[in-house]
């Protein structure tokens, strides 16, 4: 077989999955076959306000309203330590004195910002964060399992928890979990379809932004009700409400560590933040190595640490919400990807219980990492 024939066969074998699949909303609904969802699983925003009314320890505030009229709730634990401020972050960088923005080292507790799913079908982190809130309230997760160690770590930090970063997208995600979906079904719900019902596979799903009714069949859960993907809002001239509200929290709080929580079909992985200093990338690598050690110890899958690098090449990385979180607050900022449990040979095979463990283990790693960094700062000052 010639190389060209082989290429053609490969194209025929893989192209339909990548370019030709069509699915209507009605077909996608008929194909819905989610597993019975356990008590600890949270795949919707509808009952969140009732949950927040039960908070005894955490404080809840609404930081924005989505284009679909849904609130974005920020839940916080630990008192805020007010610090004098003379400049915004990038002016303080220009002044070569970051303490003009915020003297983070003078704070007693590290501040950690958990940004829950800005992609509505990636509800693994919604489940993880609602369980974390339950743990901070009661010492137990939503299965009733005792998690005192994680709670104790959390009590030594200030935690900023945004359980749902795109409530419109989450509300649109009718299956409430992507577990067990085929690749095509998962892409339908996540990325949506074009007006001729072709599935808008990633990354072509980003080619029109905001998504418009004229080009769209089903609006994927990636997007809010105005067709905006908060990961790629126009941060210097915002098109919607979610990303600016997230960045405002970061600007005001100056977190030490911030994560944008996502999901994909592969193994759990901390991604390289783009357009941030190499030292920041190295910090994320150190955190990734620590987190992956914990995954190993618990028999959970994970990827490999990335390599720090500058941007470049013909298709450089995009400046996304994770990049912006660093540039507005100086936070060590990264994107985390969790497996959904997609039914595909290329996908990472996990159970719903393992997904919860993957989430809680990441949070533990972040808290321990931030506390160790704080202890190290204190040692140097003594
Ligand atoms: Zn995502």
Mean pLDDT of the chain: 94
For residue 224, give Cα distances in angstroms to 115, 190, 261: 16, 12, 16
Instruction: Give the contacts of 282 (CB within 8 A, at least 6 positions apart).
Output: 308
Instruction: Give the contacts of 146 (CB within 8 A, at least 6 positions apart).
Output: 139, 140
Q: How far is the CA of 269 from the centre of ligand 1 (A)?
A: 12
Distance, in Å, from the CA atom of 168 to the CA atom of 293, rounded to the nearest integer, reads: 36
Structural domains of the chain, with CATH: 28-305+330-381 (3.40.630.10)
Q: What is the pLDDT of residues 165-177, one digit of tens each?
A: 999 999 999 999 9
CB 61 within 8 A of CB 162: no
Q: How far is the CA of 26 from the centre of ligand 1 (A)?
A: 24
Q: How far is the CA of 9 from the centre of ligand 1 (A)?
A: 31
Q: What is the pLDDT of residues 93-110, one digit of tens each?
A: 999 999 999 999 999 999
Q: How far is the CA of 336 from the centre of ligand 1 (A)?
A: 9
Q: How far is the CA of 94 from the centre of ligand 1 (A)?
A: 32
* Predicted local confidence at residue 1, as pLDDT: 45
For residue 80, give Cα distances in angstroms to 29, 87, 159, 221, 273: 45, 19, 10, 33, 27
Q: How far is the CA of 253 from the centre of ligand 1 (A)?
A: 24
Distance, in Å, from the CA atom of 121 to the CA atom of 340, rounded to the nearest integer, reads: 9
Distance, in Å, from the CA atom of 15 to the CA atom of 9, rounded to the nearest integer, reads: 10
Q: Which of these, 254, 251, 235, lies nearest to 243 by C-alpha position?
A: 235
Q: What is the pLDDT of residues 207-226, one digit of tens each?
A: 999 999 999 999 999 999 99
Is it the case that residue 2 has pLDDT exceeding 60? no
Q: How far is the CA of 170 from the centre of ligand 1 (A)?
A: 12
Q: How far is the CA of 172 from the centre of ligand 1 (A)?
A: 15
Q: What is the pLDDT of residues 51-79, one digit of tens each?
A: 999 999 999 999 999 999 999 999 999 99
* Predicted local confidence at residue 135, as pLDDT: 98
DSSP states of 124-181: HHHHHHHHHHHHHHHSB-TT--B-HHHHHHHHTSEEEEES-S-HHHHHH-TTS--TT-
CB 366 within 8 A of CB 110: no
Distance, in Å, from the CA atom of 330 to the CA atom of 54, rounded to the nearest integer, reads: 33
Distance, in Å, from the CA atom of 322 to the CA atom of 319, rounded to the nearest integer, reads: 8
Q: How far is the CA of 274 from the centre of ligand 1 (A)?
A: 15
Q: How far is the CA of 191 from the centre of ligand 1 (A)?
A: 10
Q: How far is the CA of 309 from the centre of ligand 1 (A)?
A: 22
Q: How far is the CA of 55 from the centre of ligand 1 (A)?
A: 28
Q: How far is the CA of 312 from the centre of ligand 1 (A)?
A: 23
What does pTM read for this prediction?
Answer: 0.94
Q: How far is the CA of 99 from the centre of ligand 1 (A)?
A: 33
Q: How far is the CA of 267 from the centre of ligand 1 (A)?
A: 14
Q: How far is the CA of 118 from the centre of ligand 1 (A)?
A: 7
Report the 10 Å Cβ neighbour count for 53. 8
Report the 10 Å Cβ neighbour count for 221. 27
């Amino acid at each position: 077989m010639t190389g060209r024939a082989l290429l053609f066969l490969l194209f025929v074998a893989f192209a339909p999955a990548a370019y030709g699949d069509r699915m209507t909303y009605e077909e996608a609904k008929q194909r819905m076959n989610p597993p019975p969802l356990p008590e600890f699983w949270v795949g919707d925003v509808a009952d969140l306000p009732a949950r927040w009314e039960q908070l005894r320890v955490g404080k809840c505030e609404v930081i924005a309203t989505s284009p679909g009229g849904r609130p974005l709730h920020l839940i916080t634990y630990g008192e805020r330590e007010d610090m004098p401020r003379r400049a915004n972050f990038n002016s303080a960088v220009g002044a070569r004195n970051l303490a003009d923005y915020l003297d983070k080292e003078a704070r007693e507790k590290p501040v950690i910002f958990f940004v829950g799913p800005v992609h509505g079908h990636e509800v693994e982190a919604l489940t993880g964060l609602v369980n974390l809130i339950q743990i901070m309230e009661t010492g137990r997760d939503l299965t009733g399992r005792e998690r005192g160690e994680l709670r104790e770590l959390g009590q030594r930090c200030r935690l900023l928890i945004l359980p749902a970063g795109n409530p419109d997208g989450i509300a649109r995600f009718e299956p409430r979990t992507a577990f067990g979906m085929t690749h095509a079904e998962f892409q339908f719900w996540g990325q949506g379809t074009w007006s001729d019902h072709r599935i808008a596979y990633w990354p072509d799903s980003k080619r029109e932004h905001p998504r418009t009714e004229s080009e769209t069949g089903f609006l994927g859960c990636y997007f809010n009700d105005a067709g905006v993907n908060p990961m790629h809002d126009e941060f210097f001239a915002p098109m919607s409400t979610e990303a600016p509200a997230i960045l405002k929290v970061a600007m005001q709080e100056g977190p030490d560590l911030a994560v944008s929580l996502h999901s994909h079909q592969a193994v759990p992985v901390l991604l390289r933040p783009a357009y941030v200093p190499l030292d920041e990338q190295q910090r994320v690598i150190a955190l990734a190595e620590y987190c992956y050690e914990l995954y190993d110890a618990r028999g959970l899958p994970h990827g490999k640490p990335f390599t720090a690098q500058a941007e470049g090449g013909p298709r450089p990385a995009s400046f996304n919400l994770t990049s912006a979180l660093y540039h507005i607050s100086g936070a060590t900022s990264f994107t985390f990807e969790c497996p959904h449990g997609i039914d595909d040979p290329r996908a990472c095979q996990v159970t719903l219980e393992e997904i919860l463990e993957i989430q809680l283990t990441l949070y533990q790693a972040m808290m321990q990492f931030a506390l160790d960094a704080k202890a190290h700062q204190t040692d140097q000052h003594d």
